[in-house]
Amino acid sequence: MSATEADVSGLLEEAVKSGLSRIAEASDLASLGQARAAVLGRKAALARARSALGGFDAEQRRELGRRANEARARLEGALEERERAFRAVEEKKRWEQERLDVTLPGDEPDLGGLHPLTKTIWEIVDIFVGLGYRVADGPEVELASYNFDALNFDSQHPSRSEQETYYIDDEREVLLRTHTSPVQMRVMEASKPPVYVVCPGRTYRRDVLDPTHLNSFAQIEGLAVDEGITMSDLKGTLQAFARELFGRDLDIRLRPHFFPFTEPSAEMDVLCFVCRGSGCRVCRQEGWIEILGCGMVNVPLLEWAGYDTERYTGFAFGLGAERVAALAHGVPDIRYFYENDLRFLSAFEGGMA
């Protein structure tokens, strides 16, 4: 029995009614996709109504066809409207999730910094570079001939003993340098005067660690050899250096001392930058603070280098970087520089010594 016009009308009404409620039930784009397939698909009421049209005459078919198209248009309109609504919700959600406020400050990375000792060394080296010195370096594993012999240490000098020096070999010909003076010998060996060098570097001594001693430490030494160099050049240079490092108005004084490689030799003190001479805890009531060793280059060293000792004279000086850095920063124990405690190290961030 073929379908009547009423049957098809009923089917179309049913298709629209159930279709609209199916569409209304969809809760998101995915379930709306399923609703679309159910409402407009081949097994849907609408499709069944359409396939029944073939059995009607032309006029009825036109009329029922128009109504089927209307039904389809209503369903498609409803689908489209829901889809637009779901897309709007989804888009809003994405805007929320992916919101980016480009005006917010960025996450600042933790920047490392130069170690306070490195800063002190660079600052000291800079002062001498400013005075026309060039920087030289040499091996940390050194020959005893450069570390001691060339520097006029006699064969029985106590520094040569195994209690004071780390030797590499049994013959005691190779060692960890005990000072950076051998660098200056190497420079003199390799070049003719005038010589103006500053030599920063790591040095080693068999010392027991305490607040003022390390068995590996940094030295900065300097050497000037030229025509007509006198003790007053030494004093003027060191005075300029001390004022630059510790303060414009601080005097220095030289006290007689002994080193095998300089003659005469002296130790240089700077006026205490805390009490300015009256005596305090920092200078241990001395009024002066010992900074470095120095002197006029001993003639046997110039001869060793093959320099004309009638024509050339020179001066040299050497200091311990940890001691100077500790003084400059009021650090009570030089071992702190090597403990790598960030709370200590970050106190020196920014700026030089």
Beta bridge mates, 217: 203
Q: 179, 201, 301, 321: which one contacts ligand PHE (CB under 6 A)? A: 179
Q: Does 259 bind ligand PHE (CB under 6 A)?
A: yes
Q: Which is nearer to ligand PHE, 152 or 262 (CB)?
A: 262
Q: Specify burial of residue 332 (Cβ count, 10 A radius: 0-12, 13-18, 19+).
A: exposed
Binding mask 186-225 for ligand PHE (x = CB under 6 A): -----------------------------------x----
Q: Does 313 bind ligand PHE (CB under 6 A)?
A: no
Q: Does 318 bind ligand PHE (CB under 6 A)?
A: yes
| Residues, the chain | 353
CB burial of 240-253 (b: ≥16 within 10 Å; e: otherwise) equals: ebbbbbbeeebebe
Q: How far apart, in Å, are the Cα atoms of 302 and each of 42, 149, 309?
A: 109, 13, 6
> What is the closest distance, in whole angstroms, from the C-beta atom of residue 178 to ligand PHE in the complex?
7
Q: 146, 288, 317, 348: which one contacts ligand PHE (CB under 6 A)? A: 317
104 by DSSP, 3-state: which? coil
Q: Which is nearer to ligand PHE, 19 or 295 (CB)?
A: 295
Q: Contacts from 279-287 at CB under 8 Å and sequence distance 24+? A: 282/327, 282/330
Q: 181, 237, 298, 313: which one contacts ligand PHE (CB under 6 A)? A: 181
Rounded-to-integer distance, Cα 314 and Cα 295, Å: 9
> What is the closest distance, in whole angstroms, from the C-beta atom of residue 168 to ligand PHE in the complex?
19
- Catalog residues that contact ligand PHE under the rule CB under 6 A: 179, 181, 221, 259, 262, 293-295, 316-318
